[in-house]
Amino acid sequence: MRISIVQYDIVWEDKEANFDRIEKIISGSKAGSDIIILPEMFTTGFSMNAGSLAEEPGSLTSAWMSDLAVSSDAAVCGSYIVRERGLFFNRWIFVTPGGETYIYDKRHLFSMGGEDKVFSAGKERLVFSFRGIRIFPIVCYDLRFPVWSRNRDEYDLLICSANWPARRMLVWDTLLRARAIENQCFVAGSNRLGKDATGLEYTGGSIIYGASGEVLAGLPSEHEGLVEAEPDLAQLSDLRKKFPVMKDADDFTIKV
Protein backbone atom coordinates (compact mmCIF):
# COMPACT_ATOMS: atom_id res chain seq x y z
CA MET A 1 0.00 0.00 0.00
CA ARG A 2 1.54 3.30 -1.13
CA ILE A 3 0.04 6.55 0.17
CA SER A 4 0.64 10.00 -1.31
CA ILE A 5 -0.38 13.38 0.15
CA VAL A 6 -0.54 16.43 -2.11
CA GLN A 7 0.50 19.62 -0.29
CA TYR A 8 -0.04 22.93 -2.09
CA ASP A 9 -1.23 26.54 -1.87
CA ILE A 10 -4.97 26.37 -2.52
CA VAL A 11 -6.16 29.07 -4.93
CA TRP A 12 -9.05 30.86 -3.22
CA GLU A 13 -12.44 29.79 -4.62
CA ASP A 14 -10.98 28.77 -8.01
CA LYS A 15 -11.79 25.12 -8.65
CA GLU A 16 -10.21 24.78 -12.09
CA ALA A 17 -6.96 26.39 -10.94
CA ASN A 18 -6.76 23.93 -8.06
CA PHE A 19 -7.48 20.96 -10.31
CA ASP A 20 -4.59 22.05 -12.52
CA ARG A 21 -2.24 22.53 -9.57
CA ILE A 22 -2.98 19.08 -8.16
CA GLU A 23 -2.53 17.39 -11.53
CA LYS A 24 0.85 19.06 -12.07
CA ILE A 25 2.14 17.94 -8.68
CA ILE A 26 0.95 14.37 -9.20
CA SER A 27 2.49 14.23 -12.67
CA GLY A 28 5.91 14.86 -11.11
CA SER A 29 5.76 11.65 -9.07
CA LYS A 30 7.68 8.73 -10.57
CA ALA A 31 6.18 6.07 -8.30
CA GLY A 32 2.54 5.09 -8.49
CA SER A 33 0.23 5.40 -5.48
CA ASP A 34 -2.73 3.46 -4.16
CA ILE A 35 -4.26 6.47 -2.39
CA ILE A 36 -3.86 10.18 -3.18
CA ILE A 37 -4.88 12.38 -0.24
CA LEU A 38 -5.94 16.02 -0.67
CA PRO A 39 -6.60 18.70 2.00
CA GLU A 40 -9.90 19.94 3.37
CA MET A 41 -11.92 22.04 0.88
CA PHE A 42 -9.18 21.37 -1.65
CA THR A 43 -11.00 23.14 -4.51
CA THR A 44 -11.77 26.44 -2.74
CA GLY A 45 -9.91 26.92 0.51
CA PHE A 46 -11.81 27.12 3.82
CA SER A 47 -14.56 29.35 2.46
CA MET A 48 -17.95 30.01 4.03
CA ASN A 49 -19.37 31.10 0.65
CA ALA A 50 -21.24 27.84 0.37
CA GLY A 51 -24.18 29.33 -1.51
CA SER A 52 -22.05 30.15 -4.54
CA LEU A 53 -19.51 27.32 -4.30
CA ALA A 54 -21.54 24.25 -3.33
CA GLU A 55 -22.00 21.40 -5.80
CA GLU A 56 -24.66 18.77 -6.11
CA PRO A 57 -23.44 15.21 -5.41
CA GLY A 58 -21.76 13.61 -8.40
CA SER A 59 -21.11 16.85 -10.28
CA LEU A 60 -17.93 18.80 -11.20
CA THR A 61 -15.46 17.88 -8.45
CA SER A 62 -16.70 14.33 -8.10
CA ALA A 63 -16.32 13.80 -11.85
CA TRP A 64 -12.80 15.24 -11.79
CA MET A 65 -11.85 12.94 -8.91
CA SER A 66 -13.22 9.95 -10.79
CA ASP A 67 -11.20 10.82 -13.89
CA LEU A 68 -8.04 11.30 -11.83
CA ALA A 69 -8.60 8.00 -10.01
CA VAL A 70 -8.87 6.14 -13.31
CA SER A 71 -5.87 7.85 -14.93
CA SER A 72 -3.71 7.33 -11.82
CA ASP A 73 -5.03 3.88 -10.92
CA ALA A 74 -5.33 5.23 -7.39
CA ALA A 75 -8.12 6.26 -5.05
CA VAL A 76 -8.44 10.04 -4.63
CA CYS A 77 -9.82 11.66 -1.46
CA GLY A 78 -10.35 15.04 0.17
CA SER A 79 -13.23 17.33 1.17
CA TYR A 80 -15.20 19.97 -0.71
CA ILE A 81 -18.51 21.84 -0.39
CA VAL A 82 -21.64 19.86 -1.25
CA ARG A 83 -25.32 20.82 -1.27
CA GLU A 84 -27.79 18.03 -0.54
CA ARG A 85 -31.41 18.12 0.67
CA GLY A 86 -31.16 21.90 0.88
CA LEU A 87 -28.22 21.69 3.32
CA PHE A 88 -24.50 22.39 2.94
CA PHE A 89 -21.88 19.84 3.98
CA ASN A 90 -18.11 19.90 4.28
CA ARG A 91 -17.98 16.50 2.64
CA TRP A 92 -14.97 14.21 2.47
CA ILE A 93 -15.17 11.87 -0.50
CA PHE A 94 -13.07 8.84 -1.47
CA VAL A 95 -13.29 7.77 -5.12
CA THR A 96 -11.69 4.54 -6.36
CA PRO A 97 -10.48 3.65 -9.89
CA GLY A 98 -13.24 1.05 -10.00
CA GLY A 99 -15.96 3.64 -9.46
CA GLU A 100 -16.77 3.03 -5.78
CA THR A 101 -17.43 6.17 -3.74
CA TYR A 102 -17.35 6.60 0.05
CA ILE A 103 -18.47 9.79 1.78
CA TYR A 104 -18.08 11.29 5.23
CA ASP A 105 -19.60 14.60 6.33
CA LYS A 106 -17.44 16.52 8.82
CA ARG A 107 -18.79 15.90 12.29
CA HIS A 108 -17.15 18.68 14.34
CA LEU A 109 -17.74 22.07 12.73
CA PHE A 110 -15.35 24.90 13.63
CA SER A 111 -17.71 27.26 15.48
CA MET A 112 -14.94 29.82 16.09
CA GLY A 113 -14.77 30.29 12.32
CA GLY A 114 -18.56 30.30 11.80
CA GLU A 115 -18.59 26.93 10.03
CA ASP A 116 -21.50 25.74 12.16
CA LYS A 117 -23.61 28.68 10.96
CA VAL A 118 -23.27 27.62 7.31
CA PHE A 119 -22.77 23.87 7.26
CA SER A 120 -24.63 20.91 8.73
CA ALA A 121 -22.69 18.43 10.86
CA GLY A 122 -22.33 14.80 9.87
CA LYS A 123 -23.96 12.15 12.02
CA GLU A 124 -22.07 8.98 11.17
CA ARG A 125 -18.54 7.63 11.35
CA LEU A 126 -17.21 5.95 8.22
CA VAL A 127 -14.99 2.88 8.10
CA PHE A 128 -14.34 1.06 4.82
CA SER A 129 -11.72 -1.10 3.11
CA PHE A 130 -9.64 -0.44 0.02
CA ARG A 131 -6.94 -2.74 -1.37
CA GLY A 132 -6.62 -4.60 1.90
CA ILE A 133 -6.44 -1.67 4.31
CA ARG A 134 -9.25 -0.47 6.58
CA ILE A 135 -9.68 3.30 6.50
CA PHE A 136 -11.25 5.84 8.87
CA PRO A 137 -11.47 9.49 7.70
CA ILE A 138 -11.79 12.71 9.68
CA VAL A 139 -11.72 16.36 8.61
CA CYS A 140 -9.56 19.04 10.29
CA TYR A 141 -11.27 20.08 13.58
CA ASP A 142 -12.39 16.46 14.12
CA LEU A 143 -8.77 15.78 15.07
CA ARG A 144 -9.27 17.52 18.43
CA PHE A 145 -11.92 15.01 19.57
CA PRO A 146 -10.28 11.65 20.35
CA VAL A 147 -13.48 9.82 21.29
CA TRP A 148 -14.75 10.20 17.70
CA SER A 149 -11.55 8.58 16.42
CA ARG A 150 -11.32 5.78 19.01
CA ASN A 151 -10.30 2.56 17.30
CA ARG A 152 -11.90 -0.70 18.43
CA ASP A 153 -9.83 -2.73 16.00
CA GLU A 154 -12.01 -1.27 13.23
CA TYR A 155 -9.38 0.44 11.09
CA ASP A 156 -5.69 0.49 10.16
CA LEU A 157 -5.31 3.96 8.60
CA LEU A 158 -6.71 7.27 9.84
CA ILE A 159 -6.80 9.99 7.16
CA CYS A 160 -7.16 13.62 8.21
CA SER A 161 -7.76 16.23 5.49
CA ALA A 162 -7.30 19.72 6.90
CA ASN A 163 -6.85 23.47 6.55
CA TRP A 164 -4.84 23.85 9.77
CA PRO A 165 -3.37 27.34 10.36
CA ALA A 166 0.35 27.95 10.88
CA ARG A 167 -0.10 29.42 14.37
CA ARG A 168 -1.41 26.08 15.68
CA MET A 169 1.07 23.72 14.02
CA LEU A 170 2.36 22.33 17.31
CA VAL A 171 -1.21 21.23 18.09
CA TRP A 172 -1.59 19.69 14.60
CA ASP A 173 1.54 17.59 14.89
CA THR A 174 0.93 16.58 18.50
CA LEU A 175 -2.63 15.41 17.89
CA LEU A 176 -1.76 13.47 14.73
CA ARG A 177 0.97 11.58 16.57
CA ALA A 178 -1.34 10.98 19.54
CA ARG A 179 -4.09 9.56 17.35
CA ALA A 180 -1.56 7.13 15.83
CA ILE A 181 -0.24 5.92 19.20
CA GLU A 182 -3.53 5.65 21.09
CA ASN A 183 -5.31 3.87 18.22
CA GLN A 184 -2.37 1.73 17.06
CA CYS A 185 -2.85 2.80 13.47
CA PHE A 186 -1.18 4.65 10.65
CA VAL A 187 -2.13 8.33 10.43
CA ALA A 188 -1.90 10.45 7.28
CA GLY A 189 -2.45 14.18 7.82
CA SER A 190 -2.93 16.37 4.74
CA ASN A 191 -2.64 20.15 5.13
CA ARG A 192 -2.42 23.14 2.79
CA LEU A 193 0.09 25.96 2.23
CA GLY A 194 -0.18 29.70 1.64
CA LYS A 195 -2.49 32.47 2.82
CA ASP A 196 -6.23 32.45 2.25
CA ALA A 197 -8.53 35.41 1.56
CA THR A 198 -9.31 35.82 5.27
CA GLY A 199 -5.63 36.37 6.06
CA LEU A 200 -4.94 33.00 7.68
CA GLU A 201 -1.51 31.55 6.93
CA TYR A 202 -0.76 27.86 6.43
CA THR A 203 2.61 26.10 6.38
CA GLY A 204 1.66 22.55 5.43
CA GLY A 205 3.18 20.01 7.76
CA SER A 206 1.62 17.09 5.90
CA ILE A 207 2.93 13.92 7.48
CA ILE A 208 2.45 10.15 7.78
CA TYR A 209 2.94 8.48 11.17
CA GLY A 210 3.38 4.85 12.11
CA ALA A 211 1.44 3.18 14.92
CA SER A 212 4.18 3.83 17.50
CA GLY A 213 4.32 7.51 16.62
CA GLU A 214 7.32 7.22 14.32
CA VAL A 215 7.51 9.45 11.24
CA LEU A 216 7.20 7.42 8.04
CA ALA A 217 7.38 10.45 5.74
CA GLY A 218 6.83 14.20 5.91
CA LEU A 219 7.15 17.39 3.91
CA PRO A 220 9.07 20.46 5.13
CA SER A 221 7.11 23.59 5.94
CA GLU A 222 6.26 25.78 2.93
CA HIS A 223 7.22 23.00 0.51
CA GLU A 224 4.75 22.26 -2.30
CA GLY A 225 4.77 18.68 -3.51
CA LEU A 226 4.09 15.10 -2.47
CA VAL A 227 4.79 13.21 0.72
CA GLU A 228 4.75 9.46 0.15
CA ALA A 229 5.07 6.34 2.31
CA GLU A 230 4.36 2.61 2.21
CA PRO A 231 2.78 1.54 5.52
CA ASP A 232 3.57 -2.07 6.41
CA LEU A 233 0.37 -3.85 7.44
CA ALA A 234 2.26 -6.96 8.56
CA GLN A 235 4.33 -4.83 10.92
CA LEU A 236 1.16 -3.20 12.27
CA SER A 237 -0.43 -6.59 12.88
CA ASP A 238 2.69 -7.75 14.71
CA LEU A 239 2.65 -4.67 16.97
CA ARG A 240 -1.00 -5.20 17.87
CA LYS A 241 -0.33 -8.85 18.79
CA LYS A 242 2.74 -8.09 20.90
CA PHE A 243 1.24 -5.05 22.64
CA PRO A 244 -2.57 -5.55 22.58
CA VAL A 245 -3.74 -2.38 24.32
CA MET A 246 -7.16 -2.46 22.62
CA LYS A 247 -8.29 -5.40 24.75
CA ASP A 248 -8.06 -3.17 27.84
CA ALA A 249 -9.93 -0.21 26.35
CA ASP A 250 -13.08 1.22 27.91
CA ASP A 251 -16.40 0.41 26.30
CA PHE A 252 -18.65 3.30 25.31
CA THR A 253 -21.29 4.43 22.84
CA ILE A 254 -21.06 7.69 20.91
CA LYS A 255 -24.30 9.70 21.02
CA VAL A 256 -25.05 11.45 17.71
Q: Is 114's pLDDT higher than 90?
A: yes
**Biggest CA-to-CA distance, the chain:** 52
106 counts as catalytic: yes
Catalytic option among 106, 115, 160, 185: 106
**What percent of the chain has a predicted confidence (pLDDT) above 90?**
93
58-69 per-position pLDDT tens digit = 999 999 999 999
140 flagged as catalytic: yes
- C-alpha neighbours within 13 Å on the C-beta side of residue 17: 9
195 is catalytic: no
DSSP letter for each residue of 9-26:
BPPTT-HHHHHHHHHHHH
Our CA angle for 69, 53, 224, nearest 5°, is: 50
pLDDT at residue 28 in the model: 78
Q: pLDDT tens across 22-66, in order?
A: 999 999 776 789 999 999 999 999 999 999 999 999 999 999 999
Which domains occur in the chain, in start order? 3-248 (3.60.110.10)
Give the pLDDT confidence of 122-170 residue by residue, as tens digits.
Answer: 999 999 999 999 999 999 999 999 999 999 999 999 999 999 999 999 9
Q: Which of 55, 77, 115, 140 is catalytic?
A: 140
Closest CA to 47 of 100, 113, 125, 107: 113
Rg (the chain; Cα; Å): 17
Taking only the tens place, the pLDDT of each residue in 171-218 is 999 999 999 999 999 999 999 999 999 999 999 999 999 999 999 999
Among residues 40, 55, 115, 185, the one annotated as catalytic is: 40
pLDDT for the residue 229: 97
